[in-house]
Structure formats: C-alpha cells, structure tokens
C-alpha cells in the first residue's frame, strides 16, 4: 500500500508541476499598461486574479485526482465482490446501467458522500494522465477513467482463465492453432466434452481464487472425491464465454473490437448462458465437481425477466 501511494504521489506531482508551469505564464500587458490612469495596476490585479484562479483549479485538480484513485480502488473491490458473491445468474456480469449503480455506490462509500454529491463528483472534471506521457494530463469527467475499471478487470480475469484452461488441456497458446480451435468449438466441446468440462472447471477455480472467494471452492464429501465448485450458471458461463471468445478469435470466426466500457462482453456472456443452460445440470447434486445453486430455477438464464426484480436483488446484495 505504501508503494502504491508513493507511485500515486509521484504521478500526481508530475501532473501538478505541469500545471504550475502553466499557471506561472503571464500574458504581456497592453501598450497602455504604463500610461497615466493606473493601467498597470489594473493589469497586475487581473494577473493576480488569474494566478489565484489557476492555483485554486490546481488544488481542486489534485484533490479530485486523489479522490478518483480512492474511488477506483473501491469500485474494483465492489465489482469483484459483486461478480463473485451473487447467487443470481442474471446479476453476475453487470450491464451498463447496473455498473453505473455500482460506481455511484462505490463513490458514496469511498468518499463518504451522499448519492447526490457522489453523482456531482463523477460528473466533475479532474486531471487525468495521458497514455503517451504520464506527466501530461487532460481534464476529463471523473467517471470516464473510472468506467475503464470493469474492462480492465475482465481483461485480467481473461488472461488468467485462458492460461489455466490451456494448461489443463496440456497446451500452450501457440499450440491452439486455427484448426484445433475450430475442433474445440465444434458441438461446444470446450465445455460439453468431458475433457473440456474438466478444463473449464479448473479455470473456474482460478476465477474464484483471483476474486478471493474461498467459500465457492470446497472439498468433496468423500475421500478422493476432489474439489467441488459451488456457483451459478452465470459464473460458469462467464468463464466458458471468455474461453469461447478466445477460440473464435483463433478460428477466425470473429475479430477483435475495442469497447470503451466493455459492454460487448455483456452481450457475449448472455449468448453463452443461452448456449450452456440446457447442457448444465438441473438437479442440485454435485456432478463432475460442479454444484449449481440455481439448479432448480427454470428461468435462471432468462435475461428477459423483470429488470425491476433484478434491481431489487442488487439493492439487497449491496446492503
């Protein structure tokens, strides 16, 4: 934590020094500044006012940047907890509206604000380092960099899941060539076949381990029964969907696309739930190391269900 704060202070110092230089630049006075009548006094006063305003903006920017970092850490923690702890498939991967609700709640908690003031903060402007030069900054709504937290988190999860999935199959990234990727996609073999299912299950263990959720993984009830993963269809499909995305890219069935807030993944995850739902267990017993908590829910993968019901469930989980 000390190293993280030191790095943040260094980054902030570089940005603020840049603003210092800009605030010290004074525009030359007009030709009549030194003429009788006090033109130079008026110009000096104007310069002092401008410098004071720049200093106030600089101080506000520094405070806003530090506050944004507090919200960023809380928002990431909130997303990880939300994704891992829900027992309702439809809520596992929050869509754009649900993500905004979680962001506002994280801002309230991190900065000890009311929801109204949290919204004001998210729409306020703060200095944000540019990608090309961390010492350079542009002013953005605080919500803009914060909305990148979710896609960055999903990318980290994806990298760990794919590495684990491939290792479970005894393969490397280079081994999974175009033809082989197509074979794993055929009839959904990447999760429907015995070997594919086992590899997905190992990846789900890695998924929950990364999210620091120990109670989703337990030992079986009998000697030699191995690990049992307890989750909902949404968790299974989040992992299998990331694997399918990787396989389709290798097989040339889709192209990469960049989404600023990662909402394309939500649509992909919903489609994966539709594919996998009918092939996953409908009873609550452990099957091949997996026990589904929503085993008896006939509408567990029905994303057309009432959004009002989902929002109520989200409120309960946040509380």
Can you say whether residue 226 is alpha, beta or left, with left for phi > 0 and alpha for psi between -120 and 50 degrees?
left
Q: How far apart (Å, rounded) are the C-alpha atoms in residues 273 and 256?
A: 21
pLDDT for 216: 93
Per-state percent for the chain, helix, strand, coil, to nearest 5: 65, 5, 30
212, pLDDT greater than 70: yes
Any idea of the CA torsion for 79, 80, 83, 85, to the nearest 10 degrees?
-120
* Average pLDDT along the chain: 80
pLDDT for 140: 87
Exposed, middle or buried: residue 70 (CB in 10 Å: 0-12, 13-18, 19+)? middle
pLDDT for 188: 96
Task: Provide the pLDDT confidence category of residue 93 given band limits of 50, 70 and 90.
Answer: very high
Q: Which two tokens stand for residue 202?
A: 């190992």
220, pLDDT greater than 80: no
pLDDT for 281: 86
Q: How far apart (Å, rounded) are the C-alpha atoms in residues 145 and 122?
A: 10
What mean pLDDT do residues 196-222 have?
A: 90
Contact 20, 10 (CB under 8 A): no
Q: Report CA-CA distances (Å) from 226 to 179, 204, 219, 220, 288.
A: 33, 15, 6, 5, 10
- Look-up: residue for tokens 């959720």? 213
Report pLDDT digits (tens) over 12-68: 555 555 544 444 444 444 444 444 444 554 555 555 455 544 454 555 556 778 899
Contact 44, 33 (CB under 8 A): no
Contact 200, 240 (CB under 8 A): yes
pTM of the predicted protein model:
0.76
Q: How far apart (Å, rounded) are the C-alpha atoms in residues 113 and 108?
A: 5
pLDDT for 1: 52
Give the DSSP per-residue string, 79-121.
Answer: HHHHHHH---GGGSS--HHHHHHHHHHHHHHHHT--HHHHHHH
């Amino acid at each position: 934590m000390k190293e993280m704060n030191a790095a943040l202070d260094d980054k902030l110092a570089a940005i603020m020094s840049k603003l210092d230089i800009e605030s010290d630049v004074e525009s030359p006075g007009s030709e009549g500044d030194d003429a009788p009548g006090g033109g130079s006094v008026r110009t000096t006063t104007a310069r002092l006012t401008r410098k004071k305003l720049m200093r106030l903006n600089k101080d506000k920017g520094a405070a806003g940047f530090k506050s944004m970092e507090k919200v960023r850490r809380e928002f990431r923690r909130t997303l990880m907890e939300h994704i891992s702890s829900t027992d309702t498939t439809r809520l596992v991967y929050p869509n754009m509206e649900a993500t905004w609700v979680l962001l506002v709640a994280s801002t309230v908690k991190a900065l000890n604000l009311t929801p109204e003031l949290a919204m004001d903060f998210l729409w306020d402007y703060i200095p944000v380092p540019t990608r090309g030069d961390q010492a350079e900054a542009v002013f953005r709504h605080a919500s803009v960099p914060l909305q990148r937290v979710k896609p960055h988190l999903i990318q980290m999860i994806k990298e760990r899941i794919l590495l684990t999935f491939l290792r479970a199959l005894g393969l490397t990234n280079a081994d999974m060539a175009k033809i082989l990727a197509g074979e794993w996609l055929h009839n959904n073999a990447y999760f429907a076949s015995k070997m594919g299912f086992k590899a997905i299950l190992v990846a789900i263990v890695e998924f929950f381990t990364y999210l620091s959720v120990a109670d989703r993984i337990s030992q079986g009830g009998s000697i030699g029964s191995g690990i049992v993963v307890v989750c909902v269809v949404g968790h299974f499909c989040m992992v299998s969907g990331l694997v399918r995305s990787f396989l389709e890219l290798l097989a040339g069935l889709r192209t990469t696309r960049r989404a600023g807030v990662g909402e394309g993944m939500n649509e992909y995850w919903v489609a994966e739930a539709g594919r996998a739902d009918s092939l996953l267990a409908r009873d609550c017993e452990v099957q091949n190391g997996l026990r589904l908590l929503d085993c008896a829910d006939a509408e567990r993968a029905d994303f057309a269900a009432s959004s009002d019901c989902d929002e109520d469930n989200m409120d309960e989980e946040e509380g």
